[in-house]
């Protein structure tokens, strides 16, 4: 079926919009991944749960993705076939080394939180930009979190999240007008929610997942869910400054 124009969708069309969409979620066995899968399934999407954990021990399929896919960071190419079948890729996997300042923790955080995400973005972008039908553009959602712009009491986590945040901003600006008709990138800027990574988070993961889905329809690049009002000011301003900076070089290359 041809998908509806995402900028003109209303409440009455929401069911049609989500129905039969194929969505892949990395980090799907985590608290937020499971919550997102549940909401998307309830709306009629088919969800692929991409995880590094043992598939045999997953919870009942009714409470999570329709289908599980096993993978490991560093083996992103093995997901190419799956990526080719997706309409939306949600990059949600990550680690939080906490206050560790050793080099190994930093390297692992950068690999998992930034470089692995970047490789998947590039692979999915190549697939999306190679399609001929511009009426069915694809989307990538990247969970960069508030740590992209604010302290998270975990230096390695903050560095890795700021790196992937800047890489996504770079990718935004590198797309031509025609390419933007085939691919959209959205950042999920999330405040602290209760999870295995953060057991003392303020927000409930189900609330966060529902809010993400409700805010995701449309052309906005930022999906912000946080009780911190400062984020709603700082994040758009940061993104605007990056866009101006990157577009300056884009303009220079054309002259």
Distance CA 36, CA 50 (A): 13
Q: Using CA atoms, how far apart are residues 6 and 235, in angstroms rounded to an integer?
A: 23
Token pair for residue 179?
A: 């390419």
How far apart (Å, rounded) are the C-alpha atoms in residues 80 and 48? 13
27: left (phi over 0), alpha (psi -120 to 50) or beta: left
- CB 8, CB 16: distance < 8 Å: no
The burial class, CB within 10 Å (0-12 / 13-18 / 19+), for 243 is: middle
How far apart, in whole angstroms, are the C-alpha atoms of residue 203 and residue 135? Answer: 36
Residue 95, number of CB atoms within 10 A of its CB: 18
The question of whether 157 is a catalytic residue gets the answer yes
> CB–CB of 21/86 below 8 Å?
no
Answer yes or no: are the C-beta atoms of 152 and 145 closer than 8 Å. yes
Kindly name the residue from 157, 172, 232, 245 that is annotated as catalytic: 157
Q: How far apart are CA 243 and CA 169, in angstroms?
A: 7
E strand intervals along the chain: 22-26, 46-51, 67-70, 88-91, 138-143, 183-190, 222-225
Catalytic site positions: 157
């Amino acid at each position: 079926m041809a998908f509806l124009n995402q900028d003109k969708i209303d409440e009455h069309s929401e069911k049609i919009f989500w129905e039969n969409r194929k969505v892949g979620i990395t980090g799907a066995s985590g608290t937020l991944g499971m919550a997102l899968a549940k909401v998307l399934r309830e709306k009629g999407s088919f969800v692929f749960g991409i995880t590094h954990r043992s598939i045999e021990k997953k919870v009942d399929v009714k409470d999570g993705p329709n289908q599980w896919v096993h993978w490991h960071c560093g083996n992103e190419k093995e997901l190419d076939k799956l990526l080719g079948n997706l309409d939306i890729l949600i990059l949600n996997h990550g680690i939080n080394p906490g206050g560790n300042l050793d080099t190994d923790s930093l390297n692992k955080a950068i690999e998992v939180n930034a470089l692995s995400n970047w490789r998947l973005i590039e692979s999915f972008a190549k697939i999306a930009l190679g399609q001929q039908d511009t009426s069915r553009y694809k989307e990538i959602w990247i969970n960069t979190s508030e740590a992209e712009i604010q302290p998270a009491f975990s230096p390695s986590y903050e560095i890795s999240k700021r790196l992937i945040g800047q890489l996504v901003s770079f990718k935004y600006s590198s797309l031509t007008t025609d390419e933007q008709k085939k691919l959209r990138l959205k950042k999920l800027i999330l405040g602290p929610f209760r999870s295995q990574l953060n057991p003392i988070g303020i927000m409930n993961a189900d609330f966060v997942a529902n809010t993400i889905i409700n805010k995701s329809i449309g052309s906005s690049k930022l999906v912000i869910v946080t009780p911190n009002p400062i984020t709603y000011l700082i994040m758009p301003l940061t993104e605007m400054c990056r866009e101006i900076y990157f577009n300056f070089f884009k303009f220079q290359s054309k002259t």
